[in-house]
Structure 1
Amino acid sequence: MTAALLAATLPALAPGTAARAQSDSLLVRYEFDGGVEGGCTAPIADGTAIPDRSGNNRDALAENPDGDKLSYGTSAPNLDGCSILFAVDDADNSSTIDQVRDADAGDYLNGLDEFTVTMWIRANAVPNDLGFVSGSLDGRGGGEHPFDVRYDAEVYQQNVPEAIKGGIGPVDGETGNHSIFYTDDGSNQTTDWQHVAWVYDAEGAGDHTIYLDGAETALGRNDDPNLSTVDITELIVGRGYLSTRGSNQTDWEGNIDDFRVYDASLSQQEIMTVMDGDAIPVEFAGAPVPTVDGQDVTLAWRTLTETDNAGFRVQHKREGASGWTTANRGALVPSKAGNGGHSNVELGYEFEVTDLTAGRYRFRVQQKDRDGDLAAGPATKLIEVGAEAGFALEAPAPNPLRSGQTARLSFSAPESEDVSAALYNSLGQEVRTLDTTGGTVEVEPHGLSSGVYFVRIESGERTATQQITLVR
């Protein structure tokens, strides 16, 4: 079987590029640790000040009019102190306001055309349009939230259940295109803590990206890539957007910890630094690149710098699993850096994981320093492992695709079978058919708007799909 390259690295940071995670691009940070002295189950009284730990003095207020919906909870993994616990019931969720609100957030959120929102979150269920954060227009609901990210029981008109959804909407009172995104089915989880990062950059890729536990997962659509966060008057943490659409709203409880907003589009490496709490001793060039051959996966990765590094362990997590498994009994890939594990030059590594059970997996590399401390690097997207031999579609190159370029995808299929190929947009609509002559599919950007597309090949009852992003 021809090995299929199923993922590509993110653009690398230049060697020596400093991470911005703790720089002055941090606009606001809420750690929710005010209940430490009273214990992490203490109630939060209406009007309690929630201090901003960014150094910018942008404190928020807890709004808990019933007195029984907001309390402190246990902290996220590797964090000290407490989290904040929100409780919503479907009997009063449209009338009772239980949230953390900064009424002056328009002073620093208005007009942003790039930003990053990060937080740890844990929930007992995936509700309908509820749960993370919104930037609101004078507290009004409906479709007038120009800035929000939230759970959604099912993405409207997309047939994607239990997703994370949100985006930037039109100005108050106007109709028109939104810039929205949603995660793929099965990416988010409940019960266990999960780190969520939402990145938007109108000037760069012009699209949204969601990282869950450091792995890129956003599918999304982007109708207007040039929107900015206009007309925001307040920032609401916890409640998110409240929808009255449909009848699938559920009682919901959720914790949020270490909530942050940056006025920069952080890279995957920088998001990993935020998630882990400390700078990772190894600067990765991006997510590792898996090459799948049946039930075996060869993982390749590059480092730009290494500090006190002993080596690496490869880990994988099957879709739906709550924890990571260390491959091949924890076998260590030794660092190629000399000088006691220190290097300022680019180094490349490979490692093979064998005999995986068929399914969808994420992969990551865990770095081990010479003192024995461990730090995880960025993870791959979900990768299909154990697909039927003799039928595969390689990743597109280049990706993202820009004007004037042609992306090519090689595929393998039995010679006796007919193969068809087509390009689909993020709504699942066929955009054009593609030629399959010579075992290669080509995608040209003419006539296409910026956004996420999918190349799908079919042979009999078998299909294979690869994602491609068009940037203009």
Structure 2
Amino acid sequence: MFPGAFYVGFNPVTGATGSTLTLRVGDDYYVRTFGGSKNRWGDYTATVLDFDDQATFWIFNEYAQVRGTVDSRGEDGRWGQRAAEEQCGGVLPVELGRLDARVDGPAVMLAWQTYSETNNAGFEVQMRRSEAPATDWTVLGFVPGAGTTHEAQRYTYRVDNLPPGPVVFRLRQTDFDGTFSYSENVEVFVPLPGAYVLSEAYPNPFNPQTRFTLMVRTEQNVTVRVFDVLGREVARLHDGPLAPDVVHPFTFTAEELAGGLYVLHVEGETFRAVRTLMLVR
């Protein structure tokens, strides 16, 4: 059976071909009684992959024809041939396995493998913070691919000096023709190197708002306050418990304050930290 395939007649002696025709399901019986009106398919059959594009395969079939005079054996000695070309719906450029991520202190080792590759230029390694927008990816580097191969390939990529907290990684696999696809996302948590991590305020200098984040290793009560240069408290941003291993964002708004130097004071049960802030008018 050749559903939806095309074939063309071929003369093996002269090399001549006939017009292209369409093979349909049920067009011919597999076995017939000679002298009938149908050919017998499947006496000799072969299927060959076209290695030029690996999206085409050829089906060759030699069959008994009904033309001519039937001899004493019930056969007329004539044979016909058909060469059917079948186009696959497309070839998966890269058969990519699972992306794995292993945390090693402030670093993460990424590892993945492919089971086969076709025209694979390589892999772009991308990362974003877990709390960042889903489109806010940063390109970390590029790992060249193996081009075209039917053998399994293994790849690794190490990311050093990561800030603590949850981070998300993915791969952007690109072919030589520019076609690309993404791997599944993988998320890991980079542990805190100490009792807390307080980011720098950004922007700084600022007007009228600046933002910063805080993470603590253990759950504890924390106060987050801002003072002017005279030691007067001008804002209290938090006073209470904070959950561990979570990025806590804070915003300091100074619309009604005079320009100048301010001091951010963060104090927990196991740490104390200070940052300076510059409000410009």
Scaled by the length of structure 2, the TM-score of the pair is 0.34
Looking at both structures, which has the greater relative contact order when contacts are Cα pairs under 8 Å and sequence separation is at least 6?
1
Scaled by the length of structure 1, the TM-score of the pair is 0.21
More strand by share: 2
Which of structures 1 and 2 has the bigger CA Rg? 2
More helix by share: 1
